Amino acid sequence: MTHATEASSSRFVRIQADDLDLQLHYNDVGEGAETVVMLHGSGPGASGWANFNRNIEPLTAAGYRVILMDCPGWSKSDPIVCRGSRSDLNARALKGLLDALDLDRVHILGNSMGGHSAVAFALGNPQRVGKLVLMGGGTGGASPFVPMPTEGIKLLNGLYREPTIDNLKKMMNVFVHDASSLTEELFQTRLDNMLARRDHLENFVASLAANPKQFPDFGPRLHEISAQTLVIWGREDRFVPMDAGLRLLAGLPNAQLHVFNRCGHWAQWEHADAFNRMVLDFLSH
């Protein structure tokens, strides 16, 4: 079997859905009767491939088709200033992508902003959702325990305003529990991704100025989602605190929660092997 690369799986599609008319970039890997869509987080330079490079192959090897959607305003997707709910904007973009690909029903795995967007999609399109996996995200809203914005989000916003290698390292050191796992190569790749699209960086800052609360609190509506949901969190998450995972567990009728010890905001990367086994088990039962 040949391994897919970012380049070999790179695709573009024009979506025209409601008031959205833009070009989206996505990666399409593997073949299978069931499809898992992966939605990345909101950091500068993030993309589906950057967030999930340790998770694609185990899923495709198990027989799933994996679609990595780059949200509007990230990577090779079109730029946008978001003045309303970014969770809902991404959900509309996902609906446009699934319509274009003729996919009726998919599982959705979302990281941070991707989790918020997966929940927004499930609320608007319940019949199109198989199972949900939410890591470090799923709803906005205040933490009862941790001052907000959190340390990680402050660093993330600072990096958007001043995209330097020093600010990138400060942010990434807070991403993970064990910063010794971060390599110079990883920093450089992420820096290159960021600086390749200064329009995305500027638009994110403009979006925050237009609406500081880009990710609404879905708490009051979580009970509407009947999809089986696996919520995964890092105990040392300094971006979106673990109590958000408890709010999801309390609100989603069919949710279970797994908390990794010694883990920051990137559970799918920091604990990739255990994460992949857990997701495969969850999807197949």
Ligand X SMILES: O=C(O)CCC(=O)/C=C/C=C(\O)C(=O)O
Span 1-60, contacts to ligand X by CB under 6 A: 41-43, 46, 51
Question: Does the active-site annotation cover 265?
Answer: yes
Find tokens 């605190």 and name the residue.
241
Per CB under 6 A, contacts with ligand X among 218-247 are 239-240
The binder of ligand X chosen from 80, 89, 106, 113 (CB under 6 A) = 113
Q: Compute the residue count for the chain.
A: 285
Q: Rounded to an integer, what distance in angstroms lies between the CA atom of residue 186 and that of residue 166?
A: 14
Residue of 40, 107, 177, 265 with catalytic role: 265
The contact mask relative to ligand X for 146-175 (x = CB under 6 A, - = no) is: -------x--x-------------------
- Minimum gap (Å) between residue 31 Cβ and ligand X: 27
**Which token pair is 119?**
């929940």
Among 48, 73, 137, 245, binds ligand X (CB under 6 A): 137
How far apart are CB 206 and ligand X at their closest, in Å?
Answer: 17
CA distances to 72, 150, 172, 199, 215 from 238, rounded to whole Å, are 25, 7, 11, 27, 17
Among 111, 228, 268, 276, binds ligand X (CB under 6 A): 111
Residue closest to ligand X when measured from CB atoms:
43
Q: Cα–Cα distance between 25 and 119 in angstroms, integer?
A: 21
Query: Where do runs of H (alpha helix) occur along the chain?
Result: 6-9, 48-52, 56-61, 86-101, 113-124, 151-161, 165-175, 184-196, 198-210, 243-251, 267-270, 272-284
Tell me whether the omega of the peptide bond preceding residue 149 falls within 30 degrees of 0, making it cis.
yes
By the criterion CB under 6 A, which residues form the site for ligand X?
Answer: 41-43, 46, 51, 111-113, 137, 140, 153, 156, 215, 239-240
Catalytic residues: 265
